[in-house]
Amino acid sequence: MEYERTVLENGMRVVTCRMPHTRSVSLMFFVMTGSCYENDGEAGISHFIEHMCFKGTKKRGSSREISEAIEGVGGILNGGTDRELTSYWCKLASQHLEMAVDVIVDLVRRPLFRQEDVEKERQVIIEEINMSLDSPQQRVGMILDDMMWPGKPLGRDVAGTKETVTAITRDQMIRHLDRFYTPANMLVSIAGDFDLDKALGLLRQAETGWHVGERPQYIDSKVDQVSPRTRIEYRETEQVNLILGVEGLSIFDPDRFALDLLSMVMGEGMSSRLFTEIREKLGLAYDIHSYVEHFRETGSFVIQAGTDPAQAGKAVRAIVEQMSAVRDGISGAELDKAREMAKGRMLLSMENSRNVAGWYGAQEMLTGKIMTIDDVTRIIDEITLDDIKRVAGGLFLTEKLNLAVVGPVKDEAGIAGLVRL
């Protein structure tokens, strides 16, 4: 699928991809803000603002009016905040693109931020944080992030803490909005069945009087780890949730595609090594999987599992053994399967206009460069067994291991002793 890149007079970038075979259109507004742009005292402010933008605008005074505008024509409207980006998106029937532009521009340009709404949403976000803290599967991931990037923005929960959310003021949010929600720091991505000239015309109408702004500074999160780390949070649960992670590769690293394939071999799908060995052969877990994250400066490779408390040590040992084994190399058949799996997933995801808008928009926003499906396919097909072995050998090192555990485990020293490759 071909894309077009346009820069409006106010500096806002627009990436468009026509999908005439569909009857829908997806519109995404990206803002370069998230936890990696927040100081410690304002942790969670980007997420708080995203919530507040849906509470009412000058044109639509309540969250119900905002949602009804899109849901009333069968569309979907939502937003999300991550470490490096905040996004607002809408997917609806093609003939309603004008409605989508009007609603999302209204959200990001004219939110009311009424004090009474701020106080209500503050409590909502605190409950969201409580929900994460109460979930062992989510909590163990939060602990791992803090271990891997201690004292850094990447190590914090995107929602912040109950203390920081309680302290954030309306004035702070308005200042943050004015600083980050500007054309120079935003991007629009559109995918689906739409008329390009009409879409650009709608966006040009919306840019009137919008202060251009500038791109704020990204806060460094790079950490040099020199020894393995283990942290256990004791809880009286039926299952131990454990997560093992190492620093991965950034979104700019050309080896990131080899790491993606390595993750597929290791723990993505029911034919992966971890699923086959840990679940099927040893019966140690119901759910075990791996995943990869790529950020602007760094990344992570993570394995997560849940197991019986009495089997926690055995599970950790078995996972570490699998990590050690792939350093010696994988088979040609495994690499071929991972290649086809990666390409197949990518192609299937491109049938959805929202995924296409996200694919092109996020790349342009984070890297300033867009790789097409064909570009990525060529790279995947060129990855060799030696590439996989080299990447595994460079990342799967004892001194880089981090193990977080949530559950009824008291023998931290015994578990820590197993974190060796």
Q: Which residues are catalytic?
A: 50
- Amino acid letter, residue 356: V
Distance separating alpha carbons of residues 141 and 402, to the nearest angstrom: 11
Give dist(CA 277, CA 282) in Å, integer.
6
List b or e across 332-342, with b for residues whose CB sees 16 or more CB atoms inside 10 angstroms.
eebbebbbebb
Contact 78, 86 (CB under 8 A): no
Task: Decide: 404 and 231 in contact? Cβ < 8 Å.
Answer: yes
The DSSP H or E segment spanning 307 is strand 299-307
Strand, helix or coil for residue 389: helix
Nearest to 325 by CA among 364, 274, 373: 274
Between CA 230 and CA 228 the distance in angstroms is 7
| Two tokens, residue 61 | 């005074």
